[in-house]
Amino acid sequence: MTIQFHDETFRDDYTFHNSPEGIRRFPFPFDADSYMYSVNLEPHAGGKAGSPFEKRFDVDEHYVAEMRDRAITLTEDPLRCQSLPHMELAGWDFLELVMVSKSEDYPELFTLNRDGDRWHWINRPLGIEQRFTFLDATTLPCGPMEYITRQTQGDHALLDQRDGNLWMDAGMVTSQADWSLDFDIGMNFFEWHAPVPKAHEMGVFQRALKFLLNLQQGAPVRRLNWTMTVNPRLDTSPENYHKWGPEKRTVAADNVGAKQYLRVELQTLWRLPRSNAIAFPIRCYLCSLEDIVTVPKWGRRLHRVLRDLPNELAEYKGFAVNRPTIVDYLAAFDDGAPTSPGIFPD
Amino acid sequence: MPRTEFSPSITSRPVYPGLTPQGATPAIMLAEGPGAEAILDLAALDASVMDLAHLIYIPAGHDAGPRLAALGAKMYREAPSYASALERYRKALADARMGTTLYLAGSEGMIGQAVAEALAAGLPPEAIQTEHRGTIARRMQCVHCKGVTENVTTDPFVCSHCGLTLFVRDHFSRRLGAFQGVCVDAETPGIVPAVQEIKP
């Protein structure tokens, strides 16, 4: 299937939209009618054909527009992409992983020719052709992590492993759910998760860290996380909170279906071969409430989840102020019928 | 002034377990204001900690200099401010050998900056001891303009660089040696909650 890349924006006039196929393949994050934190990791070893779980690095109709939005954010704030000096090798590891995966999974879009350390990369959707020497940063226009993550949807963190912990020592973060790479860079697993309520007491992070320290090469894992965002904005950064914050208060009964988005992160974790670091892509998918409810199961379930969510989580995820409006809207799409298990549409 | 007891908080918020003597090993000691009392207590537990110690004291209005000088540190220096002590402190860190202990005592702002310097210089975290004494004022980084405001004692406060009104988070970066400040009226410009004194 040929992907039709949208010409759309994630700021100002917000022309972002999902096609009907885009809605059907949206990674709806709730497999039951209620939600609480869990580690919920599973092997990232393919998935349903056409779903965002099928390929190693999902490329969808928003690819070109998302990369354009990233470039705008980086021009305004270069600190969104940082790598501590010891992380360059991990950057090369990640570049290799993405180039090999994409060229194998999407041969019509990406080509990688390798002759020893002389590599030739072609990215057709973005119109990029690059010859370079693998592991020689002087042959790329920027560092290897920045180079490949300017061409890969989702935020990306590279985690160094030492002293029985994971350290967020590099990243490209322009589509984040309100956290700052510039502030968090250099933190360990417990420090960067510190602001998350409840989960520490539940032991979620201790268990997740123990699991991740033993992550093996060739056996990536994935999980879904979610929040709510007003307008299809990728750059919901703390840096720009004073700029996008007022938009959060523009939600009303007559526009909530169009303005309020469910924001889902498909998080994958990959052991990297040379550096022993872990690559942590955080891929963001957006879907408006009015598009969600076109899938009856999702409309019913989202209503029940958001209605019953502990207030502490609604506060942390930043939508407590709009929750009544959202729940009122969704109630009209919940007839009380039972829902089938699992995340996919019936 | 006794050791400060802080209320429980999130896992990125630093804790200051207090100073424990490691005997007559090479030591760098940095004390600020009432932090002098922590060094005096340390030396009272084991006077030999001073034998190989390089002690730098920033009085900050607290007159403990003569008592510290009398402890017999291998090197003793008074500095009028952290900034004025910085190059000497960096040199001490750069010259430090394996097995050197770093003792820090004073305000959160001084400890935060001094820990960040020590980690950047390659000192292992387990070689760093900290004890909080004195003011609970915080060193805050504005997440918006990235400017650091020193000695913040209220929540919210006004960023001394960009002028935004920021609320005081407990989220702390050891790399920056600062807490995070975030615009308090981002969603409702001009509607700012009442100013309160920061509590320990």
- How many Å from the N-terminal Cα to the C-terminal Cα in chain A? 23
Q: Are B103 and B28 in contact (CB under 8 A)?
A: yes
CB atoms within 10 A of CB B2: 9
What's the confidence (pLDDT) of residue B200?
86
Domain region containing A82: 20-44+51-331
- Name, in order, each residue with C-beta under 8 angstroms of A199's C-beta and a sequence gap of 6 or more: A37, A193, A205
Residue B168, chain A, CB below 8 Å: the answer is no
The mean per-residue pLDDT over the stretch B39-52 comes to 97
What's the confidence (pLDDT) of residue A234?
98
What's the confidence (pLDDT) of residue A198?
78
User: CB–CB of A194 and B171 under 8 A?
Assistant: yes
Asked if the structure places residue A5 within a domain, the reply is no
Pick the CATH number of B27-132 from 3.30.70.270, 3.40.50.300, 3.30.390.50, 3.40.50.80: 3.40.50.80
User: Which chain B residues contact residue A76 at CB under 8 A?
Assistant: none
User: CB–CB of B180 and A180 under 8 A?
Assistant: yes
Tens digit of pLDDT for each residue in B3-12? 888 888 888 9
What's the confidence (pLDDT) of residue A1?
56
For B27, which DSSP code? E
Tens digit of pLDDT for each residue in B167-199? 999 999 999 999 999 999 999 999 999 999 998
Average pLDDT, chain B: 95
SS (H, E, C) chain A: CCCCCCCCCCCCCCCCCCCHHHHHCCCCCCCCCCCCCCCCCEECCCCCCCCCCCCCCCCCCCHHHHHHHHHHHHHHCHHHEEECHHHHHHHHHHHHHHHHHHHHHCCCCEEEEEECCEEEEEECCCCEEEEEECCCHHHCCCCHHHHHHCCCCCEEEEEEEECCEEEEEEEECCCCECCCHHHHCCCEHHHHCCCCCCCCCCCHHHHHHHHHHCCCCCCCEEEEEEEEEECCCCCECCCCHHHHHHHHHHCCCCCHHHHEEEEEEEEEEEECCCCCCEEEEEEEEEEEHHHHCCCHHHHHHHHHHHHHCCHHHHHHCCCHHHHHHHHHHHHCCCCCCCCCCCCCCC
Distance of CA A38 to the CA centre of its chain: 18
CB-hemisphere CA count at 13 Å for A40? 14
Q: Residue-wise over A30-42: b if at least 16 C-beta within 10 A, else e?
A: beebebeeebebe
User: Which chain A residues contact residue B173 at CB under 8 A?
Assistant: 183-184, 186-187
Q: Which of A184, A200, A245 is opposite residue B187, by nearest beta carbon? A: A245
Specify the number of domains making up chain A.
Answer: 1
Q: State which amino acid sits at residue A39.
A: V
d(CA B73, CA B52): 7
User: CB–CB of A249 and B141 under 8 A?
Assistant: no
For B83, which DSSP code? H
What's the confidence (pLDDT) of residue A36?
82
User: Which chain A residues contact residue B186 at CB under 8 A?
Assistant: 241-242, 245-246
CB-hemisphere CA count at 13 Å for A67? 20
> Angle at the Cα of A201 (from A200 to A205), degrees rounded to 5?
30
pLDDT (tens, 9 = 90+) of chain A, 346 residues, equals 589 999 999 999 999 999 999 999 999 999 999 998 777 899 999 999 999 999 999 999 999 999 999 999 999 999 999 999 999 999 999 999 999 999 999 999 999 999 999 999 999 999 999 999 999 999 999 999 999 999 999 999 999 999 999 999 999 999 998 899 999 999 999 999 998 877 788 888 999 999 999 999 999 999 999 999 999 999 999 999 999 999 999 999 999 999 999 999 999 999 999 999 999 999 999 999 999 999 999 999 999 999 999 998 999 898 999 999 999 999 999 999 999 999 999 9
Structure token pair of residue A290: 């009015």
Verdict on whether the full-model pTM lies above 0.90: yes
Residue B54, chain A, CB below 8 Å: the answer is no
User: CB–CB of A321 and B10 under 8 A?
Assistant: no
What's the confidence (pLDDT) of residue B8?
86
Q: Which of A183, A195, A242 is opposite residue B141, by nearest beta carbon? A: A183
Closest by alpha carbon to B81, among B136, B32, B117, B16? B32
Q: Are B107 and B81 in contact (CB under 8 A)?
A: no
Closest by alpha carbon to A33, among A324, A238, A346, A337? A337
> How many contacts does A have with B, using Cβ atoms within 8 A?
66
Q: Which helix (H) or strand (E) holds B26?
A: none
d(CA B102, CA A120): 50
Q: A205: nearest CA in chain B?
A: B11
Asked if the structure places residue A138 within a domain, the reply is yes
Asked if the structure places residue A116 within a domain, the reply is yes
Catalytic residues of A: 223
User: CB–CB of A238 and B143 under 8 A?
Assistant: yes
User: CB–CB of A183 and B169 under 8 A?
Assistant: no
Q: How is chain B split into domains, by residue range?
A: 27-132, 138-197
User: Which chain A residues contact residue B164 at CB under 8 A?
Assistant: 242
Distance of CA B49 to the CA centre of its chain: 21
User: Which chain A residues contact residue B187 at CB under 8 A?
Assistant: 245-246, 248-249, 321
Q: How far is CA A186 from CA A149, A167, A248, B94, B120, in A?
A: 19, 6, 31, 21, 11
Q: Maximum Cα–Cα distance for chain B, whole Å?
A: 58
Q: Which residue has the tokens 């590279």?
A: A158
Q: Which of B11, B143, B183 is opposite residue A190, by nearest beta carbon? A: B11
Asked if the structure places residue A33 within a domain, the reply is yes
Asked if the structure places residue A345 within a domain, the reply is no
Q: What distance in Å separates residue B92's CA from the closest CA in chain A?
A: 23
User: CB–CB of A192 and B13 under 8 A?
Assistant: no
Q: Is the peptide bond before B59 cis (omega within 30 degrees of 0)?
A: no
What's the confidence (pLDDT) of residue A39?
74
Q: A319: nearest CA in chain B?
A: B187
SS (H, E, C) B101-165: EEEEEECHHHHHHHHHHHHHCCCCHHHEEEEECCCCCEEEEECCCCCEEEEECEECEECCCCCCE
Q: Are A279 and A270 in contact (CB under 8 A)?
A: yes
Residue B126, chain A, CB below 8 Å: the answer is no
What's the confidence (pLDDT) of residue B59?
96
